[in-house]
């Protein structure tokens, strides 16, 4: 699509979705130099919310084994901002034909904002040809695929595992290898009644936290939020079953209702031993456990999730950040080269794991000799890839759609009503879907 037509389309998107937020930026941007760089020094404008990604890319461009044979001499211009601000500013700059980034990290729940109105198609490099040679080797493209074309590469496989306090499990006779959630719930109910200890959480805070708490269990049970065509798939027996499990878990005390897993209430529950287990993705080890309870080093372990009696997966997923190259810019070729080296090669994926703990998105890396012997001292020296490897092989697919944020808002209240016993799980799912469909029709 010609640039003029593209800007016209994006201006329509802004009028519909961004309102006046972009107006100040529209008047402040000049036309950038679009002459493609094909070699030599290149300044890549990188926008991200997480210093861990900055550290990763800075380490990568200084590694001759990774970038030494590139035609480009990479340099980085970093912009840090909150995830919603990054995507809003990127679109408004694109409308103004301003200085958009060459490479941008979009948090997974923000990516849905570019899935409609041809925004991804008009702004981003289609990665189909880049990822095609990898076939089934590359994991987790689904959340960033629009009309069958991938536009982002995730930085982390975001595998949900089960963290637990081994010392408390031993003290109170809870089996570390409980096969199912239902078996674990029996012990959890006993621990809550006799010792005020819970073995998991259900989010009771804002809509995003509540929906994510539900999605994590729902995906593991085998449910689908959206399918690959963008159709919502929440009206299912699995959705009612999972919501019943969550409500009963909170009622019995097996699961602890908390605003979210990162709140001060969660930190207090961890510190006091009130919370002795939690199902969360791999990154919760650093951002949740080690950050809040460093003194509990050596007491925690992790394992794959207990299964549901009725079936489902060994693992689940929550979160992620997709890195995207903006097209038709002077630095697009260089940004794509750098992204490919850091995200699509063995050496780049090892660098990402060692610099930021980001789990590989290449399937074979879970059997790589450099990773299989990795031990986590916080987890008592446990070999973590003994857990991650089988989990990665049984990870549910998560598809998004343009109305993902509408669905999140529609779910929050009804799910909370069911968890608190104010409605039945079936009625809650029905109410959420009615609210969603009403808003999507507008």
CB 172 within 8 A of CB 164: no
In the chain, the domains with their CATH numbers are: 40-155+319-368 (3.40.190.10), 159-318+397-441 (3.40.190.10)
Q: pLDDT-derived band of residue 117, with 50, 70 and 90 as boundaries?
A: confident
Q: How far apart are CA 126 and CA 45, in angstroms?
A: 19
Give exposure, 89-106, as e/b (b: 16+ Cβ within 10 Å): bbbbbbbbbbbbbbbbbb
Q: How far apart are CA 165 and CA 301, in angstroms?
A: 6
Q: How far apart are CA 279 and CA 265, in angstroms?
A: 17
Give percent of the chain above pLDDT 70: 92
Q: How far apart are CA 124 and CA 322, in angstroms?
A: 12
pLDDT tens digits for 200-226? 999 999 999 999 999 999 999 999 999
pLDDT at 327 over 60: yes
- What is the value of pTM for the model shown? 0.90
pLDDT tens digits for 364-387? 999 999 999 999 999 999 999 999
pLDDT at 33 over 90: no
Q: How far apart are CA 75 and CA 41, in angstroms?
A: 7
pLDDT tens digits for 154-198? 999 999 999 999 999 999 999 999 999 999 999 999 999 999 999
Can you tell me which residue has the tokens 């097996």? Answer: 254
Q: How far apart are CA 75 and CA 44, in angstroms?
A: 6
Strand partners, 43: 75
């Amino acid at each position: 699509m010609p640039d003029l037509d593209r800007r016209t389309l994006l201006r329509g998107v802004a009028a519909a979705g961004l309102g006046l937020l972009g107006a100040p930026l529209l008047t402040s941007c000049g036309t950038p130099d679009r002459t493609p760089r094909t070699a030599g020094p290149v300044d890549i404008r990188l926008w991200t919310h997480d210093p861990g990604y900055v550290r990763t890319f800075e380490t990568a461009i200084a590694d001759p084994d990774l970038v030494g044979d590139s035609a480009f001499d990479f340099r980085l211009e970093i912009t840090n901002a909150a995830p919603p601000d990054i995507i809003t500013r990127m679109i408004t700059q694109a409308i103004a034909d301003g200085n958009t980034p060459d490479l941008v990290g979009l948090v997974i729940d923000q990516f849905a904002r570019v899935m409609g109105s041809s925004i991804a198609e008009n702004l981003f490099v289609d990665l189909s040809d880049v990822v095609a040679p990898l076939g089934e080797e590359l994991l987790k493209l689904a959340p960033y695929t629009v009309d069958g074309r991938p536009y982002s590469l995730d930085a982390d496989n975001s595998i949900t595992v089960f963290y637990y306090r081994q010392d408390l499990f031993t003290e109170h006779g809870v089996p570390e290898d409980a096969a199912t959630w239902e078996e674990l719930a029996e012990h959890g109910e006993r621990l809550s009644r006799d010792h005020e200890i819970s073995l998991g959480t259900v989010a009771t805070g804002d809509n995003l936290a509540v929906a994510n708490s539900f999605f994590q269990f729902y995906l593991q049970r085998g449910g689908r939020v959206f399918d690959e065509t963008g159709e919502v798939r929440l009206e299912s027996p699995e959705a009612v079953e999972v919501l019943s499990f969550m409500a009963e878990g909170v009622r019995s005390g097996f699961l602890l209702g908390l605003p979210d897993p990162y709140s001060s209430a969660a930190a207090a529950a961890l510190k006091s031993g009130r919370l002795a287990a939690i199902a969360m993705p791999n990154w919760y080890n650093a951002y949740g456990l080690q950050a809040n309870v460093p003194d509990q080093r050596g007491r925690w372990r992790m394992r794959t999730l207990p299964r549901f009696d009725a079936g489902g997966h060994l693992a689940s997923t929550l979160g992620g950040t997709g890195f995207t190259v903006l097209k038709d810019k002077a630095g697009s070729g260089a940004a794509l080269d750098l992204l490919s080296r850091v995200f699509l090669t063995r050496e780049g994926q090892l660098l990402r794991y060692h610099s930021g703990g980001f789990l590989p998105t290449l399937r074979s890396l879970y059997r790589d000799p450099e990773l299989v012997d990795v031990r986590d001292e916080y987890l008592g020296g446990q070999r973590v890839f003994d857990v991650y490897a089988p989990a990665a092989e049984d990870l549910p697919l998560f598809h998004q759609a343009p109305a993902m944020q509408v669905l999140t808002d529609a779910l929050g209240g009804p799910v909370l009503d069911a968890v608190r016993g104010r409605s039945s799980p079936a009625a809650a799912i029905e109410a959420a879907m009615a609210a969603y469909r009403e808003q999507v029709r507008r």
